[in-house]
Structure 1
Amino acid sequence: MSRFVEKIRPPLAKGISILLALALLPGCWDKRELNEIAIVRALGADYTENEEIELSAQQVIPQSAESGEGNKAGTLEVSGTGTTMADALSKMQGNVGRKLFLGHVEVVLFGENLARAGIAPSIDFLVRYPQLRTRSQVYVTEGNPLEILAIKPVIQNTSAELLLSHTEQGRDLSVDLNELTQMLSGESRAAVLPIVKKKDDTMAVIHGMALFDKGRMVAKLDPETARGLLWLRNEVHFATVSIPLKHSSGQISLEVIKSETTLIPRIEGNRWIMTVRIRADDDLIQNGTLTDVSAIRSSMKQLEELASKDVENRVKAALRVLQEHGTDVVGFGKVFHQKFPAEWEKMKNRWPEQFRNIELDMDVDVHVRRTGMVKQPAGVPTERIRRK
């Protein structure tokens, strides 16, 4: 009998332990039904004339199953004003019949007024609030963010999805909340964000970039200069450039299929020099000239040299703006720190000033890999095509 008791004692003890553990579990004490919450896809914040924060939210209005598969989910834009982001959210909650749920926010917009006043306090709220994702994409808007949130796209369900589709194409800068926080707290305390511009009631586009120094927006980069910054940051994933050939009318369009940017620092006495080495492989996707570049070796070489020069000019234009404002959003400081730790230690407190004096050494090589399905210009009489 005693042996039988000893055999069942361990399983019994294990069962009692499980029951006690289950009793201690809290369960879904904070659960909310779907019809009790308002799902938010995007947030926008701007500074008002009264120097308060206006916080806007894009609330998704789900469609019922009976409404049909072709119908898109609608959106409702709500807002609130307060002295801080937290205060504005509280005021906005008072204007909504359901509890705002921010766990699905994928886009955060900062109006230009707030960006120039400083976004650091707003960033603190966004990364501290438990529901928000740090992978949310961040943008600056030329006007009030509410205007962007209110856009009704033709294809996408919401303006948030529209902006994400632009970013996912790889043509423009992509910065999420986590990356922005790291840039603002990094060695240079400089950051860069894409700028969103409203085109019409159904479309918004990425139109340049905004430069930040110590949490405040200090300058804008136009789309052409912004492309140069992407080259510097090794973030050119997809791009098309059109180049005119010498002694030939029309232009040739190239598509970047592969690129790599390498930063090579060196110090010579008091001179801090950065070599920017760029290697790119392009495809020729349109020939609008009368030249058969595949048949003329000198024309192909000229094309590659012109493409390399175009990249170099864009990079130099971007760096001029960065150095003018002392905003190292490329990471020059980090590269010098890694290669020359002793020299960096002496210079780090004066880095913005030193960054303005960095000398640039360009090494760009663009190679045209393929010329497409046809060699000579299409749709042009043979006798007019230049092959020499």
Structure 2
Amino acid sequence: MRKGWFFLGCLLLLLSGCAGTPQSREAGSTAIVGVLGVEPKQDGIQIFAAAEGREGEDPAMYRSWGETTAAAVEALTSSGDRIVSCAHVEHLLLTENGAEALPEVLSYAFQVPQQSTETQLWMVRGNSLAGSFSGDSDPARRMSVLKAAGKDRARFSPVTLREAASALAGGEALLIPGLEESEQGLSYLGLALYRKGEVLEWLTGSSALGASLLKGDRVHWTGSLGKGSMSLQSTGCRVVPLFQEGTLTGLSIHCGLEGVATGGWDGVEDTHVLEQETARAMEEALAVMQRAGTDGAGLKERAGLNWPLQWQRLSSQWEEAFPDLEAEVSVTITIAERQ
């Protein structure tokens, strides 16, 4: 617990702006950090910061370690011949072993005027960021590429500090976009199922796409048809709780999707195959969440909309029953004309 508070202390100082006001540096010599990563290490903490190069300059990366919070922050702000400013961080990266500090970080972020609550939150699989903040890597530019990939929720749904705080305040689980280290640097992995200070499961591949559709997001789908790609947008999922003699035993889930071809499609595709594939992806996502015993897609609330007079019974049984619920998932897809 003491180590957790120590680790948190550094994060809070970082999110409040990082830089002090060293008198030995010129006022204009400032590195504006766009990506901030933090991980616990040994008996202290390690901080990573990255800024894109400006006006022909090379990208800047900084790393610091300290036995105390003050030492770690001072080491970062004294990096090289620049002031290191974290007042405009676009991406906050947490390693799996740093996930326990998330609630306190979110709480503090709303108390710091200069910290944007629209900063995007990411979870990095593993316990180290060293490979992505070293050598020829350019994590700031790489994260800009990943941000573009998620624009308009075409591949994944970004989670901001504001959205994460809202979910945690309501006691909800979070599906946080996840990253992993690869030869290209940081790469999109899928979704981290987070609850109560830890990552319970990772959803990757089709299960991540299925989870996004269950939540109501837009995804980029290729599937097995192999003739092109399609943008799929959920138009809503109807979740009906199934009871036997007053006991919650299952769920009937029907989702409507609207598909828009984004390239390579010839004529009317086999929508029946696509409906089966997306339904299987949602079933895979649901199986992962049930294995973790955590509803990360807000199914309980939607089930309550179809059982409003029995909400108390549904709510009281949900947590215990959820892992073993039998679920039937069906999908209806409407193919729209590409504009």
Work out whether the TM-score is over 0.5.
Answer: yes
Alignment partner of 1:55 is 2:22: no
**d(CA) in 1 for partners of 2:75, 2:207:** 40
Q: Secondary structure of 2:222's partner?
A: strand
Which amino acid letter does the alignment assign opposite residue 40 of structure 2? Y
Alignment partner of 1:174 is 2:174: no
Contact 1:281–1:367 (CA<8 Å) still a contact in 2?
yes
Contact 1:172–1:206 (CA<8 Å) still a contact in 2?
no
**d(CA) in 2 for partners of 1:125, 1:94:** 24
Q: Which residue of 1 aligns with 2:209?
A: 227
Contact 1:75–1:158 (CA<8 Å) still a contact in 2?
no
Offset, 1:253: 3.5
**d(CA) in 2 for partners of 1:78, 1:128:** 26
1:137 maps to which of 95, 100, 120 = 120
Q: Secondary structure of 2:39's partner?
A: strand
1:104 maps to which of 77, 88, 113 = 88
Q: Which residue of 2 aligns with 1:198?
A: 181
Contact 1:59–1:78 (CA<8 Å) still a contact in 2?
no
Which amino acid letter does the alignment assign opposite residue 48 of structure 2? S
Contact 2:279–2:329 (CA<8 Å) still a contact in 1?
yes
Deviation sequence 1:113-172 (CA, Å, 0-9, x none): 223x55333434444443221101111123523433448679x97233233222226212
Which amino acid letter does the alignment assign opposite residue 270 of structure 1? T
Offset, 1:264: 3.1
Contact 2:38–2:95 (CA<8 Å) still a contact in 1?
yes
Deviation sequence 1:77-117 (CA, Å, 0-9, x none): 23334566x874355335565544222100010112223x5
Contact 2:236–2:255 (CA<8 Å) still a contact in 1?
yes
Alignment partner of 1:77 is 2:70: no
Contact 2:46–2:63 (CA<8 Å) still a contact in 1?
no
Aligned residues: 311
Segment drifting more, 95-104 vs 215-224: 95-104
Q: Which residue of 1 aligns with 2:235?
A: 260
Q: Which residue of 2 aligns with 1:236?
A: 218
Q: Which residue of 2 aligns with 1:279?
A: 257
**d(CA) in 2 for partners of 1:314, 1:224:** 5
Tell which structure's C-alpha radius of gyration is larger.
Answer: 1
Alignment partner of 1:355 is 2:322: yes
Offset, 1:257: 5.4
Q: Secondary structure of 2:28's partner?
A: helix
Unpaired runs of at least 5, structure 1? 1-29, 64-70, 244-250, 295-299, 372-388
Q: Secondary structure of 1:158's partner?
A: helix
Contact 1:196–1:207 (CA<8 Å) still a contact in 2?
yes
**d(CA) in 1 for partners of 2:171, 2:307:** 15
2:286 maps to which of 308, 319, 323 = 319
Shift in CA distance, 281/37, structure 1 to aligned 2, threshold 3 Å: closer
2:131 maps to which of 114, 135, 147 = 147
Offset, 1:273: 2.6
Q: Secondary structure of 1:181's partner?
A: helix
Offset, 1:325: 0.8
**d(CA) in 1 for partners of 2:232, 2:288:** 27
Which amino acid letter does the alignment assign opposite residue 80 of structure 1? W
Which amino acid letter does the alignment assign opposite residue 47 of structure 2? L
- What are the within-5 Å matches in structure 2 for residues 177-188 of structure 1? 177-188=161-172
Deviation sequence 1:172-227 (CA, Å, 0-9, x none): 23111111122222243x11111212332x54321122111212111111222111
**d(CA) in 2 for partners of 1:253, 1:211:** 30
RMSD of aligned C-alpha atoms? 3.5
**d(CA) in 1 for partners of 2:180, 2:35:** 16
Offset, 1:309: 0.5
Shift in CA distance, 102/260, structure 1 to aligned 2, threshold 3 Å: same
Which amino acid letter does the alignment assign opposite residue 39 of structure 1? I
Offset, 1:308: 0.7
Offset, 1:316: 0.1
**d(CA) in 1 for partners of 2:206, 2:91:** 24
Offset, 1:341: 5.4
1:44 maps to which of 37, 40, 47 = 37
Q: Secondary structure of 1:165's partner?
A: helix
Deviation sequence 1:53-99 (CA, Å, 0-9, x none): 32221145543xxxxxxx35522223334566x87435533556554
Percentage of matched positions with identical amino acids: 21
TM-score (norm 1): 0.68
Offset, 1:278: 2.3
Q: Secondary structure of 1:328's partner?
A: coil
